[in-house]
Amino acid sequence: TIRTLTGITTSGTPHLGNYVGAIKPAIQDSLNPGISAYYFMADYHAIIKTRDPQRVHESSLQVAATWLACGLDTDRVTFYRQSDIPEIMELCWVLNCMTAKGLMNRAHAYKAAVDANVAEGNDADQAITMGLFSYPVLMAADILMFNAHKVPVGRDQVQHLEMARDIADRMNHHYKVGFTLPEAVVGENVAVLQGLDGRKMSKSYDNTIPLFEPENKLRKSINKIKTNLLEPGEPKDPDDSTLFQIWKAFADESQIDYMRREFENGIAWGEAKKQLFELVNEELKGPRARYEALMKDPGYVEAELIKGAVKAREQATPFMERVRRAMGIRPLA
Ligand code: ATP
């Protein structure tokens, strides 16, 4: 079987982008009998991005409830919270000791953070933490701990996957621990949704359409999606439209063809938004009701997470012991 792994950072409320880009495809994958899936809540990643304890805590419940509400079967997959598996942090340190600083210097995300700080007149060396700098190492630990073969990612994460392979390769050469070299899988049909401000929809940018906001709010959020100034009757370019991008993520083939024609015929933006709301709401209303119920039952959600942690540690604990022995931290194997 192929092992796949996906994480969501607990840095805010899950949004349409997380659903379309990660949760929906992951749940489809998990039904494939040839796949053994690991899905986790990346809470130690969250503190890289936000220092608001309330936000991290609320997000943890929201992210967990979202996975469950979307139909994740926790008997089929291993579903856990990163911080419940202390071996991941332990492995992260080990990997840090095998990773050249120069490799991290080259990370696009790190370089982008440096550039952004310089542009704002900040001292990047003060503003950027070691957590942000070395986060590809934590990501490598997440992946290598469970010997994942495939990691579905957005294009921006491909480089980090190459780094994880690099680090695994070094470990294998030096200590013969037998890490699986993970591969990035970039979903060609999976869209990266834009947020309400035109940047990538992202929890940390506060530009999102929350996945399970109440129906009337969802309608309002969809009405806020940016459109250009074209009038009704003027042909509109579907391939340059956030509205159409979201439509595609929820529609079947014939609905996609239909909306493409409507765009070419110059459908009014208001009408397109109304139809988009109806399509999205139809798919989300069942899961939304389950989500609302789960949010009122944190004890149940917690019990699922504890169950997942036990399952994950059945692998992580003996695996980490092997790594310790390979390094001489424990009697040599
Ligand atoms: P943060 O701002 O904390 O990074 P995020 O909302 O950008 O949060 P992550 O938690 O880092 O998202 O990513 C979880 C998953 O959701 C990843 O698989 C990522 O590719 C996917 N994802 C995130 N944003 C989008 C988006 N705008 N469109 C499609 N997929 C997305």
List of residues 6+ apart from 279 with CB closer than 8 A: 247, 250, 251, 255
> Does the pLDDT at position 80 exceed 90?
yes
CATH of the domain at 148: 3.40.50.620
* Assigned domain for 198 exists: no
Q: How many CB atoms lie within 10 A of CB 136?
A: 25
What pLDDT does 174 receive? Answer: 96
> Does the pLDDT at position 40 exceed 90?
yes
What is the end-to-end Cα distance of the chain in Å, rounded?
28
CA atoms within 13 A on the CB side of 325: 10
9 marked among binding-site residues: yes
What pLDDT does 332 receive? Answer: 87
Distance CA 114, CA 118 (A): 6
Q: How confident is residue 189, by pLDDT bands cut at 50, 70 and 90?
A: confident
What pLDDT does 230 receive? Answer: 84
Asked if 8 and 58 touch (Cβ cutoff 8 Å), the reply is: no
Tell me the CA–centroid distance for residue 177 and ligand 1, in Å.
31
Which residue's CA is minimally distant from atom 25 of ligand 1?
Answer: 17
Tell me the CA–centroid distance for residue 173 and ligand 1, in Å.
33
Distance CA 125, CA 117 (A): 9
Distance CA 207, CA 213 (A): 14
Same domain? 223 vs 157: no
* Assigned domain for 16 exists: yes
Same domain? 85 vs 164: yes
DSSP-assigned beta bridge partners for residue 5: 38
Residue 97 has φ and ψ, to the nearest 5°, of -75, -10
What 3-state class would DSSP assign to 268? Answer: coil
Tell me the CA–centroid distance for residue 283 and ligand 1, in Å.
20
* Assigned domain for 24 exists: yes
Asked if 124 and 117 touch (Cβ cutoff 8 Å), the reply is: yes
Same domain? 85 vs 67: yes
* Assigned domain for 107 exists: no
Q: Which region among 96-110, 189-203, 290-304 has the lowest average model confidence (pLDDT)? A: 189-203
Same domain? 89 vs 64: yes
Q: How confident is residue 177, by pLDDT bands cut at 50, 70 and 90?
A: very high
Same domain? 143 vs 254: no
Ligand 1 binding pocket mutation candidate from 23, 29, 153, 202 (most atoms within 8 A of CB)? 202
Residue 195 alpha carbon, nearest atom of ligand 1: 27
- pLDDT per residue over 192-230, tens digit each? 899 988 889 999 898 999 999 999 999 999 999 988 888
Counting every residue, how long is the chain? Answer: 333
Q: How confident is residue 52, by pLDDT bands cut at 50, 70 and 90?
A: very high
Same domain? 262 vs 304: no
* Assigned domain for 125 exists: no
Same domain? 154 vs 288: no
What pLDDT does 156 receive? Answer: 86
* Assigned domain for 234 exists: yes
* Assigned domain for 207 exists: no
Same domain? 81 vs 22: yes
Same domain? 72 vs 179: yes
Ligand 1 binding pocket mutation candidate from 18, 151, 245 (most atoms within 8 A of CB)? 18
Same domain? 146 vs 266: no
Residue type at position 64: A
CATH of the domain at 255: 1.10.240.10
Same domain? 72 vs 147: yes
Q: Which of the two residues, 318 and 229, has the higher pLDDT score? A: 318
Give how many domains the chain has, as a whole number. 2
Which residue's CA is minimally distant from atom 13 of ligand 1?
Answer: 8
Same domain? 72 vs 175: yes
> Does the pLDDT at position 144 exceed 90?
yes
Is the beta carbon of 13 within 6 A of some atom in ligand 1?
no
Domain interval for residue 226? 212-293
Is the beta carbon of 17 within 6 A of some atom in ligand 1?
yes
> Does the pLDDT at position 333 exceed 80?
no
* Assigned domain for 120 exists: no
List of residues 6+ apart from 208 with CB closer than 8 A: 12, 13, 15, 16, 17, 195, 196, 201, 202
